[in-house]
């Protein structure tokens, strides 16, 4: 993705906790040992415990067993490289870039459950787009939580980006309407709509999301061009369940995996890949505007396994 720089250093730093638990844990059971059935069982248990998920663990272990039986894998150390390779292969080349409208404005709708990092990710995204020379407008469609509008406004002031807002407690679709109208009138490149946190089981709130989408679609052809679901990497398998249910309900086109830096559960990116058909497009590795990166599978897996001196 041209607009973002993938900075390996900050990705590695962001994945420190994951690396210590995941790769560190694997190394501690594999290092210096000769591969046998028992060790493969131990490895399986270890993978299940980590957040890569049951299905991906099964695939990986089947691969290890096959290569072990064929005499291609003999030492514990070699298994690390095998796993790394197999994990990277899970992401064939694909376009993980954000979708932009052929004619302005592009509308990006951001959703997810409470507190996962939606508003902060929007600020980071606005920062990256602006740095790329794009004009950005924000729509404060979280009219529900007290302080939500102000939080977005504070980001807007910091980043030099305007925010369209309505009444606290008002209709979020009305804010979406005003924001789309303003985006068109001002000729901005990208409009990003913040929304209130909601559970995929809260029907009225999910319908409200539908209404926001419909309002945007009516005013701007093809909108929303991107519907990003923000997931909190610290929530482990819950994040996977949210991805499954939101993708069905909310027309999600991409995932932002936030809070990787605070999490030892970066392996969840593997479970998401294995479990749902929505690409992780962006990863959040901190609370600063710069702390958003494009998801690059190879760099991500490398960072997950990196030697700490490297």
Ligand X SMILES: Nc1nc2c(ncn2[C@@H]2O[C@H](COP(=O)(O)OP(=O)(O)OP(=O)(O)O)[C@@H](O)[C@H]2O)c(=O)[nH]1
Q: What is the binding site for Mg ion (CB under 5 A)?
A: 118-119
Nearest Cα neighbor of 278 from 94, 86, 83 is 94
115 binds ligand X (CB under 6 A): yes
Burial class (CB in 10 A: 0-12, 13-18, 19+), 147: exposed
Q: Of residues 127, 165, 213, 259, which one binds ligand X by CB under 6 A?
A: 259
Name which of Mg ion, ligand X, none residue 166 binds, using a CB cut-off of 5 to 8 Å depending on partner kind: none
Among 52, 216, 229, 258, binds ligand X (CB under 6 A): 258
Sole binder of ligand X in the list 117, 224, 279, 289 (CB under 6 A): 117
Residue 258, SS3?
A: strand
C-alpha 261/C-alpha 264 separation (Å) is 8
DSSP states along 178-200: HHHHHHHHHT-SEEEEEE----T
CA dihedral over 114, 117, 118, 119, signed as positive or negative: positive
Direct distance between the N- and C-terminal alpha carbons of the chain, in angstroms, rounded to an integer: 25
Among Mg ion, ligand X, none, the one that 189 touches (CB under a kind-dependent 5 to 8 A) is: none
Cα dist from 218 to 111, 211, 215, 225, whole Å? 20, 11, 5, 13
By CB under 6 A, tell whether 159 contacts ligand X.
no
CB atoms within 10 A of CB 21: 18
Q: Of residues 120, 242, 247, 293, which one binds ligand X by CB under 6 A?
A: 120
Of 3-11, 76-84, 212-220, 281-289, the window that binds ligand X (rule: CB under 6 A) is 281-289
Query: Closest distance between ligand X and the C-beta of residue 297, in Å?
Result: 19
By beta-carbon proximity to ligand X, the closer residue of 114 and 167 is: 114
Supply the minimum distance, in Å, between the C-beta of residue 298 and ligand X.
21
| Among the listed residues 35, 52, 129, 148, the single contact to ligand X using CB under 6 A | 148
In the complex with ligand X, which residue's Cβ is closer, 14 or 76? 14
225 contributes a contact to ligand X by CB under 6 A? no
As measured in angstroms, the least distance from the Cβ of 118 to ligand X is: 3
CB of 62 to Mg ion, least distance (A): 41
Backbone angles phi, psi at 77, to 5 degrees: -55, -40
**Long-range own/partner contacts, residues 157-164 (CB < 8 A, 24 or more apart):** 158/123, 158/289, 159/123, 159/126, 159/127, 159/130, 159/289, 160/130, 161/126, 161/130, 161/136, 161/137, 162/137, 162/138, 163/137, 163/138, 163/139, 164/137, 164/138, 164/139, 164/140
- Given the rule CB under 6 A, which of 153-161, 201-209, 257-265, 274-282 is the region that contacts ligand X? 257-265
Q: Which stretch binds ligand X (CB under 6 A): 36-44, 111-119, 209-217, 298-306?
A: 111-119
Nearest residue (CB) to ligand X, 6 versus 219: 6
Rounded to a whole number of angstroms, the minimum distance from the CB of residue 221 to Mg ion is 28
Among 145, 186, 211, 241, binds ligand X (CB under 6 A): 145
> Interface residues with ligand X (CB under 6 A)?
112, 114-120, 142, 145, 148, 197, 258-259, 261-262, 284-287, 291
């Amino acid at each position: 993705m041209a607009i973002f720089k993938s900075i390996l250093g900050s990705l590695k730093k962001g994945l420190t906790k994951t690396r210590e638990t995941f790769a560190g844990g694997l190394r501690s059971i594999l290092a210096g040992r000769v591969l046998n059935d028992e060790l493969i069982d131990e490895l399986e248990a270890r993978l299940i415990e980590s957040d890569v998920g049951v299905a991906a663990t099964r695939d990986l272990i089947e691969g290890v067993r096959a290569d072990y039986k064929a005499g291609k894998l003999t030492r514990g150390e070699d298994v690390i490289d095998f796993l790394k390779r197999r994990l990277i292969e899970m992401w064939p080349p694909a376009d993980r870039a954000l979708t932009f409208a052929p004619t302005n404005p592009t509308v990006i709708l951001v959703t997810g459950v409470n507190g996962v990092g939606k508003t902060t990710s929007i600020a980071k995204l606005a920062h990256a787009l602006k740095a790329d020379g794009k004009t950005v407008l924000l729509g404060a469609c979280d009219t529900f939580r007290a302080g939500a509008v102000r939080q977005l406004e504070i980001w807007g002031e910091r980043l030099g980006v305007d925010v369209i807002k309505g009444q606290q407690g008002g209709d979020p679709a009305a804010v979406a309407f005003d924001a789309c109208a303003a985006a068109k009138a001002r000729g901005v490149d990208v409009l990003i709509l913040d929304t209130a946190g909601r559970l995929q089981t809260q029907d009225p709130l999910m319908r409200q999301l539908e209404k926001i989408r419909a309002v945007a679609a009516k005013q701007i052809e093809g909108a929303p061009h991107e519907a990003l679901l923000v997931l909190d990497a610290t929530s482990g398998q819950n994040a996977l369940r949210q991805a499954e249910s939101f993708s069905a309900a909310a027309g999600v086109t991409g995932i932002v995996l936030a809070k990787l830096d605070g999490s030892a559960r970066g392996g969840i990116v593997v479970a998401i890949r294995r479990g749902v058909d929505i690409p992780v497009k962006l990863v959040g590795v901190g609370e600063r505007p710069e702390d958003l990166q494009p998801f690059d599978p190879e760099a991500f897996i490398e960072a997950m396994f990196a030697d700490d001196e490297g």
